[in-house]
Amino acid sequence: MEKLELAFRFIGFLIKLGFSKKRIEKFRTSAERYRIDKIHAASLEGNPLGSPADRDLRVYLPPGYAESADRRYPVIYFLHGYGSDNKNWTITSRLEIDQAPFPLDAIPPRMAREFNLDKIPTYELLDEAITRGEIEPFILVQPDGSLHVPQLGRPKNLTGAPKMKGSFYVNSPHSGNYADYIARDVVAHVDRTYRTVADPGHRAVSGVSMGGYGAMHLGITFPDVFGAVASLAPGNLLWTMVDWKLYSPLYERLLGKRYARKDGEHEWRDILDTTDMIYSRDAPLLPSIKRDAAGKIVGASEAAIANWRRFDLSAMVGEQPAALKGKPVFLYCDAKDEFGLCPPTRQLHEALIEHGIEHEFQNPDDPAVAITPHVLGCGINIMPALKFCCDAFKRGK
């Protein structure tokens, strides 16, 4: 019965989407505080994949921005996860049903309540929190971190657009300079275009999953740019994770075990394919893996392992411990993260402790997100991460 209701609601969502496209586009072009800028990223020019250097940039301006002409604002740079792009953002307006991460119109109300979807922030929720004085006004910036290369098999999202591979927000000779793109091109555009407090003490970087990895990576790589980091379930993939079995309880509930298993296998294969390309295209890990008669991994290319380890956040902390010392750092991952990210996140936590880097670490086994600990766990913890960043700005005054 639940699957049938979901099917009918999804059909209704697609019909509503078809009738709403012109209204949504009119809203986007007329909204004064919910902006989409067009920027040219010099750092991405001539990248090996031919990915576009011209990018959309989501910018949220807080209530009162236009009226307070002399006031300057801190900025949170929020990085989306794997599979998102300039057609599928993490934080949007409630009206933008075509680009929201959770299309509420397609989800039965009781399921929305069960999954705590009301805790996932929208622009309107940010407006309300700022107006009530729960958080200080800030500018929220969401860059497009997609490679604009279709995922394996060319799967599509709910609106029919192809899902894209992600950049992990790193500089790579095989994919392009995505860390420079964020820390240099995007930050320069925002400071030039908006009334920002243009110093590290008033810049924070946050993100979910791939974006959580990117936030920590950028915080370590560009300590002169970002003064605070809030990382949610960072996608810190280690070469030893290649045999992880990705399985979503949510997909099992909605679509059955067989679909959940097949989808998990396909998604994990694509993520590994992307990671191997970015980290080690010159010495690929995946084809080099050696197994014993039982199928257990017994070895792999040393060059590939070394390439992957260079991007391991724990190793990066060890190599550059001064980058995060004295800075506010927030780290979250659910204990039952379905992408297997709990162990590497705990390793990162231990590395931060080992090098004397104070931080807040949350690693709950939260029954409220058990249906999809990674996706929902990240979603409902975005607002706490943003509040953490806002509290960090107070230290920078």
SS3 labels along 141-209 = EEECCEEEEECCCCCECCCCCECEEECCCCEECCCEEHHHHHHHHHHHHHHHHCCECCCHHHEEEEEEC
- Packing angle between helix 123-131 and helix 382-395, nearest 10 degrees? 40
Query: Is the residue at 279 inside a domain?
Result: no
b/e 254-264 (16+ beta carbons within 10 angstroms → b): beeeeebbebb
Query: Is the residue at 95 inside a domain?
Result: yes
User: What length is written for the chain?
Assistant: 397
Range of the domain at 390: 2-236+312-395
| CA distance linking residue 387 with residue 389, whole number of Å | 5
Q: Which pTM does this prediction carry?
A: 0.92
Q: How far is CA 167 from the centre of its chain?
A: 11
Pairing of strands 290-291, 329-332: unpaired
Number of alpha helices (DSSP H) and beta strands (DSSP E) in the chain: 13, 14
Beta-carbon contacts of residue 1 (< 8 Å; ≥ 6 apart): none
Q: How many structural domains is the chain composed of?
A: 1
Query: Is the residue at 301 inside a domain?
Result: no
Query: Is the residue at 354 inside a domain?
Result: yes
Query: Is the residue at 292 inside a domain?
Result: no
CATH number at residue 195: 3.40.50.1820
Report residue 235 as tokens: 């996608």
Query: Is the residue at 246 inside a domain?
Result: no
Per-residue CA distances from 252 to 105, 262, 371 (Å): 21, 11, 9
pLDDT tens track, the chain, 397 positions: 444 444 443 444 444 445 455 655 655 655 689 999 999 999 999 999 999 999 999 999 999 999 999 999 999 999 999 999 888 888 988 777 555 555 555 555 666 666 677 788 999 999 999 999 999 999 999 999 999 999 999 888 766 788 999 999 999 999 999 999 999 999 999 999 999 999 999 999 999 999 999 999 999 999 999 999 999 999 999 999 999 999 988 888 877 899 889 999 999 999 999 999 999 999 999 999 999 999 999 999 999 999 999 999 999 999 999 999 999 999 999 999 999 999 999 999 999 999 999 999 999 999 999 989 999 999 999 999 999 999 999 876 5
Query: Is the residue at 295 inside a domain?
Result: no
| CA distance linking residue 300 with residue 264, whole number of Å | 24
Report residue 8 as tokens: 């009918």
Q: What is the pLDDT of residue 21?
A: 58
Query: Is the residue at 306 inside a domain?
Result: no
Q: What is the pLDDT of residue 32?
A: 83
